[in-house]
Amino acid sequence: MFSKPIQRCGFVALLICALNAVANAQSFRVQCPAKTPLHPDGRGIKCQQVSGGDGFATMGDGTQTYLFGFGPLSGLADIKNGLPGTETNKLFNLGSADPYGNGSVGLLNPLTGDVRAADIMNTGVLNANFPAPLIAIDEDDELFLTLTNVGMIMRPDLFEQHTVHFHGYPNASSYFDGVPDASVAINIGGSFTYYYTAPDAGTYFWHCHITPPEHLQMGMVGQLYVRPRQNRLQNDPAYARQSLASILAAQNSKTPGNLDGQHCSDILCTGQTPVPVNASEVRGSMYAYNDGDGSTRYDSEYPIQMMGFDPYFHYVGTTFNPESFAGMKDKYFMLSGRSYPDTVNPDPISTEGSDGQSRPSQPLPTLITINKSAGQTRALLRLSDLSVTEFTTLATVGIPMRVVGLDARLLRDMAGNDMTYLTNSVTIGGGESADVILDAADVPTGTYFLYSTNLDHLSNFNENFGGMMTEIVVK
């Protein structure tokens, strides 16, 4: 562990200059088209760029820890505010001309994908985020995700390739699946743009598939979620112009047309659009799945990645010593890259790197707020776990959890019967996800807790209070 940043500024500057030369000699490029055959008007095309490299994070007890990771090269302002870094093609292609800082870093020409390598290196070096930047798309979107390998500054002896694997994604093309045996791996100084069409709504995750036990443990994992088509139907202007009475009448009679469920094509969908509870829910409501009845409606969502670090493994990772895979055991347990009480800190957590520069390496708080005075009662928790060593149980006291989806699948049987269930705890292991709704309609105001019932997971290494816990504030 490091109590102070290692001062190697001259060495790091030399490495950056050398890698800039490599980058200019190689191919840093991005792809984000203005239109495609599937989306000739340009709408529905989403783009994002991430770097593959290394960096530092701060644990709950203040220890600075070295990690491999993905960092943002687009959507910087949104990611800093805890939002997904996925942008529309128009915003992405503004490049550094975007006044809010969400365009692709250093993009010079969106038609050719030419970028300024120095800008990418200056932003991407030592900029690993933990967890990796959020990705969020809508069903039927086309996603162009560019991975740029900027190299490991603290481990110049490693010529690590990186890939992106969308874990659990159905029917992924092997070429874009990120498994190096069947696709491509990105060398230092190179870029590659992955292409995906968004299939089914739900919560997934993504990670590097180069020596997965090492790169996952070192931090190269993040969350991805797909929003359902049902959201677009609920917010469609033609739908919103109709009166509540006509909407209900059309739904009850299953009148053909805009309300007959043609936008809701999941095999488990009931074929109807959700019946609004009141007029305010006709427009603006959000859903976790194409449920057809509004049962997965929520007012606010919280992506939460369950994860852990083995400090000895990470220490060895920066000291040029052999790593002990057999002895790997997490001792820092985190929600979205933070341990309690850092989980409730609304600000990004920055860590000073070996070059003396501080970077926001842990941007995601997990404080859950349900503001009943603003008409909010339902919060969607997007839980995912890609730990390589642990199963984890998350529990609540005082607020029931309704599990509506597991592993990006709505809990319905093939006959359409509701299989969702109420519980006060959810147990998931590496490679699994769960979509959970907290309903505070009948819950008194106050502060509640979402925490792990695994007692050793409630610690920050040698500190026996903290770990995998956050607060739920009902106002």
Query: What tens digit of pLDDT does each residue of 276-303 get?
Result: 544 445 456 799 998 878 889 999 999 9
Quote the mean pLDDT of the chain: 85
**Does the pLDDT at position 267 exceed 60?**
no
Query: What tens digit of pLDDT does each residue of 113-135 get?
Result: 999 999 999 999 999 999 999 99
Cα angle 78, 378, 223 (rounded to 5 degrees) comes to: 40
**Does the pLDDT at position 313 exceed 70?**
yes
Work out the pLDDT band at 168, boundaries 50, 70, 90. confident
**Does the pLDDT at position 261 exceed 60?**
no
Report the Cα 88 to chain-centroid distance in Å.
17
Residue linked to tokens 């743009």: 193
Give the Cβ contact number of residue 168 at 10 Å.
Answer: 19
The answer as to whether 260 is a domain residue is yes
pTM of the model: 0.87
**Does the pLDDT at position 268 exceed 50?**
no
Query: Could you give the count of Cα atoms lying within 13 Å of 177 in the half-sphere of its Cβ?
Result: 14
DSSP 102-130: -SPTTEEETTTTEE-HHHHHHHHTT--BS
DSSP-derived letter for residue 79 is H
The answer as to whether 282 is a domain residue is yes
Long-range contacts of 316-322 (CB under 8 A, 24+ apart): 317/66, 317/67, 317/68, 317/155, 317/218, 318/66, 318/154, 318/155, 320/155, 320/157
Give the closest residue to 453 by CA, choosing from 468, 475, 441. 468
Percentage above 90 pLDDT, the chain: 64
d(CA 298, CA 440) in angstroms, rounded, equals 11
Identify the helix (H) or strand (E) that includes residue 201.
none
Work out the pLDDT band at 274, boundaries 50, 70, 90. low
Question: What pLDDT sits at residue 273?
Answer: 55
DSSP 126-140: T--BSSEEEEEEETT
The answer as to whether 256 is a domain residue is yes
Taking the alpha carbons at both ends of the chain, their separation in whole angstroms is 40
The answer as to whether 194 is a domain residue is no
Give the closest residue to 22 by CA, choosing from 159, 183, 189. 189
d(CA 383, CA 407) in angstroms, rounded, equals 10
Please compute the mean of the pLDDT values over residues 436-443 and round it to a whole number.
95
Please compute the mean of the pLDDT values over residues 139-158 and round it to a whole number.
93
pLDDT higher for 461 or 9? 461
Q: Judge contact between 131 and 167, C-beta under 8 A.
A: no
Task: For residue 206, give the 3-state DSSP assignment.
Answer: strand
Question: What pLDDT sits at residue 283?
Answer: 52
| Bridge partner residues of 265 (DSSP) | none
Radius of gyration over every alpha carbon of the chain, rounded to an integer in angstroms: 22
| Bridge partner residues of 423 (DSSP) | 401
**Does the pLDDT at position 227 exceed 60?**
yes
What are the distances in angstroms from CA 408 to CA 141, 203, 434?
17, 5, 7
Please compute the mean of the pLDDT values over residues 46-51 and round it to a whole number.
98
Percentage above 70 pLDDT, the chain: 83
The answer as to whether 247 is a domain residue is yes
Question: What pLDDT sits at residue 173?
Answer: 81
Give the closest residue to 330 by CA, choosing from 267, 412, 385, 251. 385
Give the closest residue to 134 by CA, choosing from 56, 221, 59, 197. 221
Identify the helix (H) or strand (E) that includes residue 357.
none
Q: Judge contact between 337 and 69, C-beta under 8 A.
A: no
The answer as to whether 277 is a domain residue is yes
The answer as to whether 257 is a domain residue is yes
Number of domains in the chain: 1
Tokens (6 digits) for 415: 């006959």
Question: What pLDDT sits at residue 23?
Answer: 46
Question: What pLDDT sits at residue 358?
Answer: 93
Work out the pLDDT band at 354, boundaries 50, 70, 90. confident
Please compute the mean of the pLDDT values over residues 248-257 and round it to a whole number.
43
Work out the pLDDT band at 198, boundaries 50, 70, 90. confident
Instruction: Residue 282: give the domain boundaries.
Output: 229-287
Q: Which of 46-60, 233-247, 427-441 has the lowest mean pLDDT?
A: 233-247
The answer as to whether 237 is a domain residue is yes
**Does the pLDDT at position 12 exceed 50?**
no
Residue linked to tokens 């488990």: 268
Q: Which of 38-52, 60-74, 141-155, 160-174 has the lowest mean pLDDT?
A: 160-174
pLDDT higher for 471 or 172? 471
Give the closest residue to 457 by CA, choosing from 397, 390, 396. 390
**Does the pLDDT at position 26 exceed 60?**
no
**Does the pLDDT at position 170 exceed 80?**
no
Please compute the mean of the pLDDT values over residues 88-95 and round it to a whole number.
96
d(CA 283, CA 268) in angstroms, rounded, equals 23
**Does the pLDDT at position 386 exceed 80?**
yes
Q: Judge contact between 85 and 72, C-beta under 8 A.
A: yes
Question: Which amino acid would we find at residue 34?
Answer: A
